Each structure stands twice: as structure tokens, then as C-alpha cells.
């Protein structure tokens, strides 16, 4: 039965692996990493180039507005569940200046959110990393039912439901977004701890959450209770290698 599950996941994965996850027509969020060029949606980046915070241009943004940023990995398997992992939640972002110059005119965070976790896809996988920028309403309040997201751990960050967050935080649709594929360029380090996020591919921003609607009841399902089958190391790596090395 596990094998069947894996085979159907395989077929599915091959079809959707590099699908553009952004809504058609969504303006591109202009950003780059210190070591990269400005990122076109779907670009492939080396993991080593994504370890520090990105530089986000405010050129196409409203200089009087306050923004809220989400950065997620869409292509995660946590235990046996395909899911989304939150890499950065950042409210209170504003433009630094009105200059028409990319280097001066950037979006900065005035406070701490859920700390940036740099991309760390396992070797031989292609994870899609997505930035979504939202207008932050003047009366924005952080939804307390998402209070679990702050530690920079797999347990805290896996199973992030973007649409539910958007809904309970009362955010409108994103005003800009971007995505890229990260390729591992450094040698594999130590073996992954059991709770490490492992690779797969998923379809879209609506991926199943590991948490059962945390904002609708008093309790949240502990993520660890759901990790079980299909944890054998490496099967997705084998699957992914059939796609070839090109991302995007």
C-alpha cells in the first residue's frame, strides 16, 4: 500500500513539480539576494546564495503603505504529508525612501516577525520558494491561533496554511509575489535529524495543512502526531533525479 502511495505521488510529482504557484497576473515582487541578480519568477538559485536576507525593492510599491511578507517552501514532506513550510513571517515592512534607485529604495522590516529561515532543500531536490507581499491593514492584529509559528523549527513552521492565515489575519489578496527554485550546491552535511523537513513536490498554495484548522477550535493538532509512514530516506531524491537538473 505504501508502494502504491509512492507510485501515485511519483506520477503526480512529475506532472506538477515545476508549476508556477503564483496567481496569474500577480505583480512581481522585485527582490534579490546579496549574491544574486534581481529574481525573475521561476529562476533557479543556488542554496548558498539564499542564506542571508533578501533585498526587496520598494520601487513599485506604495511608499505610504505598510506591508506584511510571507516566505514559504511549497515542496515539503513532513512525515508522510505533503505540506507548506513557513520560512519567514514579517509584518511592519515599509519603504526606506522615495528615490528611484533600487539600492536606496528598499523595503525594510521595523520589527521582528517569525525569523527568516534560509532555504535548505535536501540534495537533488527542487523546492519552490515563494514570497508573497500583502498590504498590512492599519488595524492589523496578529492572529493568536498562529502563535506557534515563531520558533525557527520544522515543528513550528511545517503545515503553514497560507489561505487560512490570510483569512484569519483579514488580509486581502497579495499585492506582489515571486518564486524561485533552490538547488543545493554545498556538500551534504550531517545526516538529517528525524524531524527534518524532507522533499517532495506539491501542487499549489492550497496544499493540505498539517494542522486541523487551528483557528477554529481551542486546540491545535500537534504536528509530530502526524508524521509516520513513508519516511524511508531517499525515495524522493530518486524520483526527483528523473526530472533532470533544470528548474523553473
Q: Residues interacting with ligand NAG, by CB under 6 A?
A: 53, 88, 90, 109-112, 115-116
Q: Least CB distance from residue 150 to ligand NAG, whole Å?
A: 11
**Strand 43-46 with 176-183, pairing:** parallel
Q: Least CB distance from residue 104 to ligand NAG, whole Å?
A: 18
Q: Which CB atom, from 88 or from 134, has the smaller least distance to ligand NAG?
A: 88
Q: Least CB distance from residue 152 to ligand NAG, whole Å?
A: 9
Q: Which CB atom, from 68 or from 77, has the smaller least distance to ligand NAG?
A: 68
DSSP string, 34-76: TTSPPPPTTEEEEGGGGSSPPEEB-TTS-TT--EEEEEEEEEE
Residues 6+ apart with CB under 8 A from 126: 17, 18, 44, 75, 181, 182, 183, 201, 240, 243, 247
Q: Least CB distance from residue 142 to ligand NAG, whole Å?
A: 15
Cα–Cα dist 176/39, whole Å: 13
Q: Least CB distance from residue 55 to ligand NAG, whole Å?
A: 13
Q: Which CB atom, from 18 or from 105, has the smaller least distance to ligand NAG?
A: 105
Q: Which CB atom, from 16 or from 94, has the smaller least distance to ligand NAG?
A: 94
Cα–Cα dist 246/17, whole Å: 11
Could you tell me the sign of the dihedral formed by the alpha carbons of 124, 35, 50, 97, in that order? Answer: negative
Q: Least CB distance from residue 93 to ligand NAG, whole Å?
A: 9
Q: Which CB atom, from 46 or from 53, has the smaller least distance to ligand NAG?
A: 53
Contact 223, 210 (CB under 8 A): yes
User: Cα 16 to chain center, whole Å?
Assistant: 17
Contact 164, 213 (CB under 8 A): yes
Q: Least CB distance from residue 178 to ligand NAG, whole Å?
A: 17
| Number of neighbouring beta carbons within 10 Å of residue 18 | 18
Q: Which CB atom, from 15 or from 35, has the smaller least distance to ligand NAG?
A: 35
Q: Which CB atom, from 53 or from 215, has the smaller least distance to ligand NAG?
A: 53
Q: Residue of minimal CB distance from ligand NAG?
A: 109
Amino acid at each position: 500500500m505504501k508502494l502504491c502511495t509512492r507510485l501515485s505521488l511519483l506520477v503526480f510529482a512529475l506532472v506538477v513539480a515545476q508549476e508556477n504557484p503564483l496567481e496569474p497576473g500577480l505583480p512581481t515582487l522585485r527582490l534579490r539576494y546579496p549574491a544574486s541578480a534581481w529574481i525573475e519568477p521561476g529562476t533557479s538559485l543556488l542554496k548558498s546564495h539564499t542564506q542571508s536576507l533578501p533585498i526587496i525593492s520598494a520601487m513599485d510599491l506604495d511608499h505610504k503603505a505598510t506591508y506584511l511578507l510571507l516566505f514559504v517552501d511549497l515542496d515539503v514532506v513532513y512525515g508522510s504529508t505533503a505540506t507548506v513550510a513557513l520560512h519567514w513571517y514579517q509584518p511592519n515592512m515599509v519603504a526606506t525612501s522615495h528615490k528611484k534607485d533600487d539600492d536606496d529604495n528598499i523595503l525594510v522590516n521595523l520589527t521582528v516577525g517569525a525569523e527568516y529561515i534560509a532555504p535548505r532543500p535536501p540534495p537533488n531536490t527542487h523546492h519552490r520558494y515563494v514570497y508573497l507581499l500583502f498590504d498590512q491593514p492599519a488595524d492589523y492584529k496578529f492572529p493568536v491561533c498562529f502563535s506557534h509559528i515563531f520558533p525557527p523549527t520544522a515543528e513550528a513552521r511545517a503545515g503553514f496554511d497560507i489561505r487560512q492565515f490570510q483569512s484569519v489575519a483579514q488580509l486581502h489578496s497579495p499585492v506582489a509575489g515571486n518564486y524561485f527554485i533552490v538547488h543545493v550546491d554545498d556538500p551534504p552535511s550531517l545526516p538529517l535529524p528525524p524531524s527534518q523537513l524532507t522533499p517532495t513536490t506539491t501542487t499549489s498554495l492550497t496544499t493540505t495543512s498539517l494542522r486541523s484548522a487551528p483557528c477554529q477550535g481551542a486546540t491545535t493538532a500537534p504536528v509530530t502526531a502526524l508524521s509516520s509512514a513513508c519516511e524511508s530516506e531517499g525515495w524522493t531524491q530518486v524520483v526527483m533525479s528523473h526530472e533532470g537538473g533544470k528548474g523553473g
